[in-house]
A and B are shown apart, each in its own frame.
Chain A
Amino acid sequence: MEKPLLFTRDLSIGYPTKKQVSVIASDVSISLRMGKLISLIGANGIGKSTLLRTLTGIQKPISGEVMLNGRIVSDYPPSQMSQKLALVLTEKLPPSNLTVFELVSLGRQPYTNWVGKLTADDIAKVNQALHLTATTHLSAKRHFQLSDGQLQNVLIARALAQDTPFIVLDEPTTHLDLQHKAALFRLLRTLSSETGKCILFSTHDVEMAIQLSDEMIVMNRGNVIQDTPENLIKMGAFDRLFDDETIVFDKQKQRFVFRGF
């Protein structure tokens, strides 16, 4: 079996507060391979963001380490990290006149010269990213003119243009309706299988994630498990996802049902 792109060793995550260290989860064992689409699920406030921040080297682990491409993730200087990992975040873009093409081109910054001039190769990569995300027709539009779904695709194109083996998306399906959620999942799936990238994303759409991801990371209070959706269902990992007796996971239907209404 090929070596994983990212794996953890004796990892504990959490954050130091003023007086003590609050640990969110320890013994986190995660291994991410190329060409896989992996979703991260868990209730609000369980620490998904902390896990993502630790995996991407923004935050230091409490103990243990995250290895990316054979090197401790927080040891990468920013310039090298930007060639390994691309992000798609939930935060709003600041006001600017950026066109879609310019926005996606910014993904080439790790490769351009001191003034950021695009070479023919850079332009080809940008066009390819626009093509893969089916956003070529938007390239002359301003980013504030796009719908939420279009903007999400454009931000993914920007991450693709960054040409990294690893892409992390923070809740990319929020603000989207069912149709656009499905389209986004489909896009992520095609991208991971066709480009061979490792794509990790957090989401609250558990049922869709079960159907469409290769593997899932499930965060419950204090523990983190990674496996294929089928195995996770067998294990009953989704039963304890929410701290609420009235929400139960139905294994046959592969969805959550509500009791006592």
Chain B
Amino acid sequence: MPDQKNSSFFLLLSLLAVLLFVLDLAYGPVSIPVEDVFRSISGGKASKETWDYIIVNYRLPKAITAVLTGIGLAVSGLLMQTLFRNPLAGPDVLGLSSGSSLGVAFVVMGAGLIPGILSVWMLSSYGIILASCFGSFLVLLAILAVSRRLRDTMAILIVGLMFASFASAIVSILTYFSTAEQLQKFTFWAMGNLGNLSWLSITILAVCISTGLAIAVLCIKPLDALLLGENYAKSLGLHYKRAQFTIIIATSLLTGSITAFAGPVAFVGLVVPHMAKLLFRTSDHKVLFFATVLFGAIIVLLCDILCQFPGSDVTLPINAITSLIGAPVVIWLLMRKRKTFD
């Protein structure tokens, strides 16, 4: 009975995701009819040549980035919420995105300090992705070290906030010493942007996300055991340290690569797992994982559509929209589910 209900939910969510994907392609400063969108992505020709160009070179990369970003952030949020036994954990809340930002800031604004060829490489997609993953990995390790001493879940969140302000302080010091050009580059990155990614960057991002997701799938059973807490999980035969490390690798790979390409996107990682938990009313990670994947794609596609101001060619930064939706949702969640947050 619940299985049947779950399958119909999954079917509905998948249809919604596909619908939003097509809408995301059709909608924008220039509206393109849905039939033309289909014709264009199925390899045919749209009624106008410019539409073809817009879809293939601009909207399709952006929509794919949106899907990858949504999936990756949402899953890393789910992993963190279970690992830290904290329903309010997420890549941005725990300061992972700030860690990534710091990594990127060092590369973008500090590149002048590194000699020749190395700085060229560091400023390429690979360098930025590496710096970003490394930044979030370091922050995760630091939070983990602190959380071993502080059992209090709220304290961990505060530590995450402190890491975030620490990281942004260093970033502002870096900006002080950087050139106008470097500063501009970093500021645009930090606003979060799903567009403007080359097909090569998208391929790199897709590889990182798929790897992260594959590792996350391997963690499904350990994650279920962790629902009972560390000691019970160990008594169930879980290799705790190994599981913890695997989860952290998956999380920093997902968050780091997304932050490197799309900038720090707020709230998706925190809110989306809760949507999955609310709809499916389960803690079973077999269900939650796929639910979170679908919800993640749906939410970021939706936000990306909302970024396009109707009837004008203004595009709002994605971060503004996710925060506008995300912050009230978190407050609502807190009020509604006080019991489980104890």
Minimum CB–CB distance from B53 to chain A (whole Å) comes to 44
Q: Which of B224, B239, B286 neighbours the largest number of chain A CB atoms within 10 Å of its CB?
A: B224
Q: Per-position contact with B for A114-134: 1 when CB-CB < 8 Å, else 0?
A: 111100000000000000000
The answer on a CB contact under 8 Å between B238 and A95 is: no
The answer on a CB contact under 8 Å between A109 and B231 is: no
Minimum CB–CB distance from A105 to chain B (whole Å) comes to 9
A79 to B238, CA, bound (A): 7
The answer on a CB contact under 8 Å between B227 and A114 is: no
Minimum CB–CB distance from B270 to chain A (whole Å) comes to 15
A115 to B224, CA, bound (A): 9
Interface check A12, CB cutoff 8 A = no
The answer on a CB contact under 8 Å between A115 and B286 is: yes
Prevailing SS type, chain A contact patch: loop
A172-189 residues at the B interface, CB under 8 angstroms:
none
Interface check B340, CB cutoff 8 A = yes
Give the A-B pair count, Cβ closer than 8 A: 83
B231-260 residues at the A interface, CB under 8 angstroms:
231-232, 234-239
The answer on a CB contact under 8 Å between A109 and B87 is: no
A162 to B233, CA, bound (A): 12
Q: Per-position contact with B for A72-95: 1 when CB-CB < 8 Å, else 0?
A: 000000111111011101011111
- Known contacts A109-B224, A116-B224, A116-B286; A95 and B341 CB within 8 A of each other: yes
Interface check B49, CB cutoff 8 A = no
A28-47 residues at the B interface, CB under 8 angstroms:
none
Hey, which chain B residues are within 8 Å of A63, CB to CB? none
The answer on a CB contact under 8 Å between A82 and B237 is: yes
Name the segment of B20-28, B172-180, B200-208, B276-284 touching the other chain: B276-284
Hey, which chain B residues are within 8 Å of A82, CB to CB? 235-237
Interface check B342, CB cutoff 8 A = yes
Minimum CB–CB distance from A127 to chain B (whole Å) comes to 16
Hey, which chain A residues are within 8 Å of B340, CB to CB? 95-97, 144
Minimum CB–CB distance from A148 to chain B (whole Å) comes to 14
How many chain-B residues does the 8 Å CB contact rule pick out?
30
The answer on a CB contact under 8 Å between B218 and A98 is: no
Hey, which chain A residues are within 8 Å of B221, CB to CB? 109, 112, 114-116
Q: Which of B217, B221, B238, B281 neighbours the largest number of chain A CB atoms within 10 Å of its CB?
A: B221
Interface check A225, CB cutoff 8 A = no
A78 to B240, CA, bound (A): 10
Interface check A107, CB cutoff 8 A = yes
Interface check B33, CB cutoff 8 A = no
Q: Per-position contact with A for B211-233: 1 when CB-CB < 8 Å, else 0?
A: 00000011011001111110110
The answer on a CB contact under 8 Å between A97 and B282 is: yes
Cβ-neighbour of A102 out of B218, B220, B238, B284 (below 8 A):
B284
A25 to B47, CA, bound (A): 87
The answer on a CB contact under 8 Å between B85 and A95 is: yes
Closest to A94 in B: B85
Closest to B218 in A: A114
Hey, which chain A residues are within 8 Å of B232, CB to CB? 87, 89, 106
Which positions in A face B, CB cutoff 8 Å? 58, 78-83, 85-87, 89, 91-99, 102-103, 106-107, 109-110, 112, 114-117, 144, 162
Which positions in B face A, CB cutoff 8 Å? 85, 87, 217-218, 220-221, 224-229, 231-232, 234-239, 277, 281-284, 286, 339-342
What are 11 residue pairs bridging A and B, where the CB atoms are less than 8 Å apart in the complex? A82-B236, A94-B227, A94-B228, A97-B282, A97-B340, A99-B282, A102-B284, A106-B225, A109-B236, A109-B238, A116-B220
Q: Told that A78-B238, A94-B85, A116-B220 touch, could you supply 11 new A-B pairs with CB distance under 8 A?
A: A81-B237, A82-B235, A87-B235, A93-B229, A94-B227, A106-B225, A114-B218, A115-B217, A115-B221, A117-B286, A144-B342
